[in-house]
Amino acid sequence: MNSTSANLSGILDRILNTAADNLRFAKILVQLGLDPNNITYDALFNRLLEILLANITLANMFALVGAVFFVATLLTHTMVPLRVANMVGCTCFAAFGALSGDIKTFLLYLLLLPINGLRLHQMLNLVRKARAATAGDMSMEWLKPFMTTRKYRKGEILFKKDDPAQDMLLTVTGQFLVKEIGVAVPPGRLMGELGFLSPDNRRTATIECTEDGQVLTITYEKLLEIYFQNPQFGYYFLVLTSQRLLENIARLETIVAENKAAERAAAAARTN
CATH number at residue 200: 2.60.120.10
Phi, psi of 256, rounded to the nearest 5 degrees: -60, -45
Say whether pLDDT at 15 is over 80: no
Total structural domains within the chain? 3
- The string of pLDDT tens digits covering residues 71-118 is 988 888 778 888 899 999 999 999 999 998 889 999 999 999 999 999
In a domain, 194, yes or no: yes
* pLDDT of 20: 53
* pLDDT of 154: 93
The residues pairing with 177 across neighbouring beta strands, listed in sequence order, are: 184, 208
What's the CA gap between 90 and 256, in Å, rounded?
Answer: 60
Considering the domain architecture, whether residues 168 and 96 belong to the same structural domain is answered as: no
* pLDDT of 230: 66
Considering the domain architecture, whether residues 171 and 228 belong to the same structural domain is answered as: yes
* pLDDT of 213: 92
Final residue belonging to a domain, choices 36, 54, 72:
54
* pLDDT of 75: 85
Final residue belonging to a domain, choices 101, 133, 165:
133
In a domain, 30, yes or no: yes
In a domain, 24, yes or no: yes
Say whether pLDDT at 246 is over 90: no
In a domain, 257, yes or no: no
Considering the domain architecture, whether residues 77 and 118 belong to the same structural domain is answered as: yes
The residues, any chain, with a CB within 8 Å of residue 72's CB and separated by 6 or more, are 85, 89
pLDDT more than 70, % of the chain = 74
Give residue 48's domain range.
2-54
* pLDDT of 2: 56
- The string of pLDDT tens digits covering residues 172-214 is 999 999 888 788 888 888 888 878 777 788 888 899 999 999 9
Asked if residue 217 lies in contact with residue 191, where contact means CB atoms within 8 angstroms, the answer is no
- Radius of gyration over alpha carbons of the chain, in Å? 33
Residue of higher predicted confidence among 88 and 247: 88
Final residue belonging to a domain, choices 133, 167, 195:
133
* pLDDT of 81: 87
Considering the domain architecture, whether residues 156 and 128 belong to the same structural domain is answered as: no
- The string of pLDDT tens digits covering residues 23-64 is 566 666 666 666 666 666 676 677 677 766 666 788 888 988
Considering the domain architecture, whether residues 160 and 76 belong to the same structural domain is answered as: no
Considering the domain architecture, whether residues 96 and 162 belong to the same structural domain is answered as: no
In a domain, 246, yes or no: no
Considering the domain architecture, whether residues 178 and 216 belong to the same structural domain is answered as: yes
What's the CA gap between 226 and 125, in Å, rounded?
Answer: 13
Considering the domain architecture, whether residues 161 and 227 belong to the same structural domain is answered as: yes
* pLDDT of 106: 93
In a domain, 250, yes or no: no
In a domain, 83, yes or no: yes
Considering the domain architecture, whether residues 122 and 164 belong to the same structural domain is answered as: no
Q: What is the pTM of this model?
A: 0.45
Q: How confident is the model over 140-163, as a mean pLDDT?
A: 86
Task: Determine which of 19-33, 180-194, 214-228, 236-250 has the lowest per-residue pLDDT on average.
Answer: 19-33
In a domain, 252, yes or no: no
